[in-house]
Amino acid sequence: MNPYPVFEVDQVTYQAAQNHSKQVDEWLGFNYIDLEKQLRLSEISKIHQTWSELSPQSFQTPYCELRSLLVELGLKKNDHIIDLGSAYSRLAFVIGRHHPELKFTGFEVSNMRVIETLKRLKNWQYKNVQVFHQDLLDEDFQLPEAQAYFIYDFGHNQGIQKILQNLKHIAKKQPLQVIARGRASRHFIFNENPWLTIHPPSNFEHYTIFKST
């Protein structure tokens, strides 16, 4: 009855977490195979790094890991978390079910993924989650202010670097947390954004939580 449980780190292997997420995806009604095949052949995959050549279980964070991550963040009522490169927005489903006090926004460059995600979210009528089709490299895109940002190596390196510069400007106005998942995101924070490492980061097996000061 709870598709997004909290597990202790040593209670489940990563393979088991991925297998569990695959079952949850099927339960939610996602049909990745045809969509990802179309995406691989689309013009957008020629311009952007969509990771469509990989299994959806490889480029998405397991549901149970997202649930545990939210516990670590310790967000407060009405706090906003933004997923940059949200794919099928797994975080929206977890927050919608377990954290109605939070606000979630997902931005994804593939409109096919966004449309499919909105179809699945419609079944639940969560009022605190939104998902948008958005190219994060678009010059007209203004990154909204939020208390937390989730980055999992979306797109190409210049996209990650651009977003981190955007976050630097936001951090001058308010404190924020950045959840970096993937080698590139963590690399650019540690090597090019020391403003996020003044406060000792919290390191976990698959992600790191950084806090601005």
The predicted-structure confidence for 56-78, as pLDDT tens digits, reads as follows 898 999 999 999 999 999 999 99
Contact predicate 66/98, CB 8 Å: no
Among 209, 212, 211, smallest CA distance to 72 is for: 209
Rounded to the nearest integer, the mean pLDDT of the chain is 94
Kind of pairing between the strands at 202-203 and 208-211: antiparallel
pLDDT(86) > 80: yes
98: its two tokens: 């377990």
Backbone region of residue 112 per phi and psi (left: phi > 0; alpha: psi in -120 to 50; beta: other values): alpha
Q: Hey, is 52 helix, strand or coil?
A: coil
Please report, in angstroms and rounded to a whole number, the separation of the first and last CA atoms in the chain. Answer: 40
pLDDT(99) > 90: yes
pLDDT(186) > 80: yes
Q: In the structure, what pLDDT confidence band is assigned to residue 51 with cuts at 50, 70 and 90? A: confident
Backbone region of residue 87 per phi and psi (left: phi > 0; alpha: psi in -120 to 50; beta: other values): left
Sheet-wide strand order for 80-84: 129-133, 103-108, 80-84, 148-151, 177-180, 208-211, 202-203
Among 48, 55, 16, 17, smallest CA distance to 33 is for: 55
CB-neighbour burial class of residue 164 (10 A; exposed 0-12, middle 13-18, buried 19+): buried
Q: Per-residue pLDDT tens for 114-158?
A: 999 999 999 999 999 999 999 999 989 999 999 999 999 988 898
pLDDT at residue number 33: 87
pLDDT(8) > 80: no
The domains found in the chain, sorted by start residue, are: 12-211 (3.40.50.150)
pLDDT at residue number 54: 87
Least confident of 29-33, 69-73, 191-195: 29-33
